[in-house]
Amino acid sequence: MSTTNSSKAQDGQAAAGAPAARPRRSDGAMNPRVHDWHGRRVWVIGASTGIGAETARLLLARGARVALSARRAEPLQAIADGSDDVGRGKPGNEQPAGQALVLPLDITSHSQVLAARDALVAAWQGVDLVMIVAGIYNEMRADSFDMQSVNQVLDVNLRGAFHCVDAALPMLRQQPGSGLAIVSSVAGYSGLPRALVYGPTKAALINLAESLYCDLHAQGNAVYLINPGFVETPATAGNDFEMPALISAAEAAQHIVKGIERGEFHIHFPKRFTNWLRLARLLPYRSYFWLIRKVTGL
Ligand SMILES: NC(=O)c1ccc[n+]([C@@H]2O[C@H](COP(=O)([O-])OP(=O)(O)OC[C@H]3O[C@@H](n4cnc5c(N)ncnc54)[C@H](OP(=O)(O)O)[C@@H]3O)[C@@H](O)[C@H]2O)c1
């Protein structure tokens, strides 16, 4: 990690090569706060559309250097160039040369993820934050159980996330103060109808982020668990039910970036919806299932 940036020192980040020390936070935050994104190197995996794309755009606007990954190179390049803003009705916002790096990959391929990581290290000598946003959503109930879809969702949401963790860990180990963010979902809090495979993959990611926090916080790395409620993106465009407390992807990106800036571990939003679900999961099962049935009708 570059140590010349004074804002990093201000945020409590250790110098590269310094022995890892358990960070003591007097400000109550679970991770170091971020006061300035300028020059920070962020790798957003799953940046071509939706939440990842908006987060990447916001970070670029805040001055971060952003490496953009997903399978489709074209939308990544448009975000890197700032040229997609024109099509979205915003003034074109060309990024300064070198601020963005396009690294297309398929997270289901371990070798592609490692190759992208190596290209990133070669270009920028390291990274300050890895964000695993990529994921796919499918609706499945017991009466439509389909093993092919199960494998597809497991491959992307779970095996793919582990590929990214494997790629990130050596960089994090070398750079105390750097961090890893995992986008899971409120669907991972407890069992829900329609989420027979998506829900378990997201529950696993919540557990993964918690376990990583136990291990990495002690060595001076930040870990963030991000649990969005319903967000308007291509992934939810096909939902044929009313999505409570639906927010835009741009709003989701604001919540994510603000949560990281505040040094939160559990970044969940919108609170009017996520707090309700967090409370529901504390109920005894009988009451929980009664409530979910009453609310969803399923
Ligand atoms: N939208 C919601 O309501 C909601 C709620 C909670 C959690 N989430 C989570 O938020 C994350 C982003 O979802 P979104 O709603 O923004 O959906 P989205 O617009 O469909 O974005 C998904 C992103 O993942 C990438 N991706 C998918 N498969 C990939 C693969 N095999 N390799 C590399 N990249 C891949 C996609 O890019 P390519 O297709 O170009 O590869 C895209 O950039 C997901 O993890 C999702 O589960 C979403």
Instruction: Identify the pLDDT of residue 9.
Output: 35
In one letter, which amino acid is 278? R
Instruction: Identify the pLDDT of residue 94.
Output: 66
**Atom of ligand 1 at shortest range from CA of 157:** 45
Pairs from 17-21 (Cβ < 8 Å, separation ≥ 24) = 18/176, 20/176, 20/218, 20/219, 20/220, 21/176, 21/220
Q: How confident is the model at residue 98 (pLDDT cuts 50, 70, 90)?
A: confident
CA of 162 to the centre of ligand 1 (A): 16
Q: CA geometry: angle at 91 spanning 85 and 92, to 5°?
A: 60
Q: How confident is the model at residue 95 (pLDDT cuts 50, 70, 90)?
A: confident
183 and 132 Cβ atoms separated by less than 8 Å:
yes
The alpha-helical segments, DSSP class H, found in the chain are 6-10, 50-61, 73-81, 84-87, 110-124, 147-153, 160-174, 198-216, 249-261, 271-280, 285-296
107 and 163 Cβ atoms separated by less than 8 Å:
yes
- pLDDT of 154 over the 90 cut: yes
- pLDDT of 200 over the 50 cut: yes
- pLDDT of 220 over the 60 cut: yes
Q: Tens digit of pLDDT for each residue in 33-69?
A: 999 999 999 999 999 999 999 999 999 999 999 999 9
> What phi and psi, each to the nearest 5 degrees, are found at residue 91?
-60, 140
| Residues 247, 256: Cα–Cα separation, whole Å | 13
Average pLDDT along the chain: 91
- Using most ligand atoms within 8 A of CB, pick from 44, 51, 103, 133 the residue to mutate for ligand 1: 51
**Atom of ligand 1 at shortest range from CA of 228:** 6
Furthest CA-CA distance within the chain:
57
Least confident of 11-20, 30-39, 210-219: 11-20
- pLDDT of 110 over the 60 cut: yes
| Residues 158, 107: Cα–Cα separation, whole Å | 10
- Pick the closest to residue 71 from 44, 103, 111, 105 (CA basis): 105
If you average pLDDT over residues 199-221, what whole number do you get? Answer: 97
Instruction: Identify the pLDDT of residue 2.
Output: 36
User: Treating both helix axes as pointing N-terminal to C-terminal, what angle do 271-280 and 285-296 enclose, rounded to 10 degrees?
Assistant: 140
CA of 148 to the centre of ligand 1 (A): 19
Q: How confident is the model at residue 245 (pLDDT cuts 50, 70, 90)?
A: very high
The answer to whether the predicted template modeling score (pTM) of the entire model surpasses 0.75 is yes
Q: Report residues whose beta carbon is within 6 angstroms of any ligand 1 atom.
A: 46-52, 70-72, 105-108, 133-137, 156, 160, 183, 185, 228, 230-231, 233-236
DSSP-derived letter for residue 114 is: H
Instruction: Identify the pLDDT of residue 84.
Output: 75
- pLDDT of 170 over the 60 cut: yes
Number of DSSP helices (H) and strands (E) in the chain, helices first: 11, 9
- pLDDT of 97 over the 80 cut: no
